[in-house]
Amino acid sequence: MKMKQRISKAAAAATITGIAAFGFAPVAQFDTPAHAATSQETNSQSQTAVKNINEIYNAAVKGEVPRLTVDFKIGKTLRQDVRDQFGPPPEGSSNNFDYYHAEMGHPGYAFGYDQNNVINEIRYFGTNVERQTNLGSITQANLKKELGQPNFTGKVKGDGTTQTKYTYHAGAYDLEFIFDDSKTLNHVNLVKKP
């Protein structure tokens, strides 16, 4: 009888150990695909950011911003040329800027003008829909990884907010990335170098 109890206890212990061992194995198997998916998503977001950073920088070297369907250039294009193309700014004008909001599939822009009504700054706001495939993919970390340390860093204050500005030289122009926080890029400015 004692032998039966010992065998029963040993069998019970083996069963519990086996269940515990097998119970942990499926959890590990489920974690692996989830971890792989997260890693793939991160890699995809990183690739999107690199593509967007390079697109913005390469356009800036030419005095342009990406995804603008017409050839507007800093120091050359007149305010009237912009209005002939886009009409009066639906967002209105303020401080010598005309604002054109983002619409379905089209990014938003603002054009700044000098005293002669010639473009002296273009702001690129990106798209609102699926923003993570556009400016939303760019963080301070991946910007520094792709373009290196900025030539200048500063703070922009206004309307009760403080933003961080990273300035990179791009040929004859300065490219300014304006962040709300380390992971939220608000917009990009293109200006002629001082």
For residue 90, the model assigns a pLDDT of 86
- Please check whether residues 144 and 123 belong to one and the same domain: no
Task: Measure the CA–CA gap between 56 and 124, rounded to whole angstroms.
Answer: 9
List pLDDT tens digits, range 149-166. Answer: 999 999 999 888 899 999
Q: What's the angle, vertex CA 165, arms to CA 107 and CA 149, rounded to 5?
A: 110
In this structure, the number of other CB atoms found within 10 A of the CB of residue 141 comes to 12
CB-based burial label for 106 (10 Å; 0-12, 13-18, 19+): middle
Q: Is residue 35 part of a domain?
A: no
> pLDDT digits over 93-126, tens only?
777 899 998 887 788 999 999 999 999 999 999 8
Question: Dihedral sign, CA of 134, 140, 141, 147?
Answer: positive
Instruction: Please say if the pLDDT value at position 27 is more than 80.
Output: no
Please tell me whether residues 121 and 143 are part of one structural domain: no
Q: Where are the strands (E) in the chain, listed by range?
A: 93-94, 97-100, 108-113, 119-126, 152-158, 161-170, 173-181, 184-192
**CB 107 within 8 Å of CB 126:** yes
Range of the domain at 120: 72-128
Give the end of a domain, one of 90, 108, 128: 128
CA distance from start to end of the chain:
97
- Provide the pLDDT for residue 127: 85
Q: Which of 82, 100, 128 is the last residue of a domain?
A: 128
pLDDT above 70: residue 43: no
Give the per-residue pLDDT at 40: 52
Alpha-carbon gap, residue 61 to 176, rounded angstroms: 13
Answer for the pair 192, 175: CB distance below 8 angstroms, yes or no. Answer: no
pLDDT at residue number 164: 96
Beta bridge partners of 174: 169, 191
* CATH code at position 186: 3.30.1450.10
Query: CA-to-CA distance for 124 and 121, rounded, in angstroms?
Result: 10
**Domain-located, residue 28:** no
172 in the Ramachandran plot: left (φ > 0), alpha (ψ -120 to 50) or beta? alpha
Give the pLDDT score at 182: 87
